[in-house]
Amino acid sequence: MLVLALDTSTPAVTAGVVRDGRELAVYTDTDGRKHGELLMPGVQAACREAGVTLKDLDAVVVGAGPGPFTGLRVGMVTAAALGDALGIPVHGVCSLDAIAATVVAAGTLTGNLLVATDARRREVYWAAYEAEGLRLTGPSVESPAALAERLPGLGLVAAAGTMVEQFGLPVRGPATPTPAGLVATADLAADRTAVPGPLEPLYLRRPDAVPPGERKAVS
């Protein structure tokens, strides 16, 4: 099964082509201010390197966050547009799950794993996982100090993500979702005929922008 995997939930812009769980090509750029400009060129570059065309794809998998609103919607809208244009299914997965899946696949965990990424506003997105990859808790968003208070009760032996250096745990890669991790999280091999549900972004908090209130009458 040939799958295009996308993620824009972190400053990294990631696109990759995966066949039956093996990465054929990966494009990554870490300029978090240019998700919109970089993603489709990245998709085209990954397809060229893999020697495939968009018409060859069987499915698209996209990281659904949690992530900042502007960057996250770039990946999800692009995935939805490609799926619609190509007539193929689009599967949204938790981006933190995808990071955990890659760590678990390395087979070196002996206990629970923390995954944490930058939520801005001096906060982190995080979730905890068993050594086999099952999510224990999360995803959630809170300050690093609040998260640090929770760590002693989670049985953690390692951490992965862009915001884990401060928690005193051994750090494992990757820091951002990989194409193989995204596809593994979607678990397409379990049922290739499964129809994915609607794409739902994991923002975990309300956007800054709100509709303007009713204008006050001028006396």
Q: Tens-digit pLDDT profile for the chain (219 aa)?
A: 999 999 999 999 999 999 999 999 999 998 777 898 999 999 999 999 999 999 999 999 999 999 989 899 999 999 999 999 999 999 999 999 999 999 999 999 999 999 999 999 999 999 999 999 999 999 999 999 999 999 999 999 999 999 999 999 999 999 999 999 999 999 886 666 667 888 999 999 755 444 555 655 555
Q: What is the radius of gyration, based on Cα positions, of the chain? A: 18
- Shared domain check, 82 and 100: no
Residue 101: give the domain boundaries: 96-167
157 located within any domain: yes
**Alpha carbon separation from 57 to 18, 45, 95 (Å, rounded):** 10, 15, 21
- Shared domain check, 84 and 6: yes
Q: Any bridge partners for residue 61, and if so which?
A: 5, 91
Q: Give me the CATH number covering residue 133.
A: 3.30.420.200
Can you tell me the distance from the alpha carbon of 163 to that of 107, in angstroms, rounded to the nearest whole number?
22
> In 3-state terms, what secondary structure has residue 35?
helix
- Shared domain check, 148 and 133: yes
- Shared domain check, 34 and 133: no
Give pLDDT, residue 188. 86
- Shared domain check, 122 and 54: no
Give pLDDT, residue 123. 96
Strand order in the sheet with 22-29: 22-29, 13-19, 2-7, 59-63, 90-93
Omega cis (within 30) before 174:
yes
DSSP string, 71-94: HHHHHHHHHHHHHHHHT--EEEE-
Give pLDDT, residue 210. 45
93 token code pair: 């997965």
197 located within any domain: no
- Shared domain check, 24 and 38: yes
- Shared domain check, 26 and 61: yes
Q: Give me the CATH number covering residue 79.
A: 3.30.420.40
125 located within any domain: yes
Give pLDDT, residue 144. 97
DSSP string, 142-201: E-HHHHHHHGGGTTEEEEESTT-GGGTS-B-S-SS--HHHHHHHHTTTT-TTPPP-----
- Shared domain check, 106 and 83: no
The number of beta carbons lying within 10 Å of the beta carbon of residue 53 is 10
174 token code pair: 């990757």
- Shared domain check, 125 and 64: no
216 located within any domain: no
- Shared domain check, 75 and 16: yes
How many domains is the chain partitioned into structurally? 2
147 located within any domain: yes
Is residue 55 within 8 A of residue 4, CB to CB? The reply is no
- Shared domain check, 89 and 101: no
- Shared domain check, 10 and 87: yes
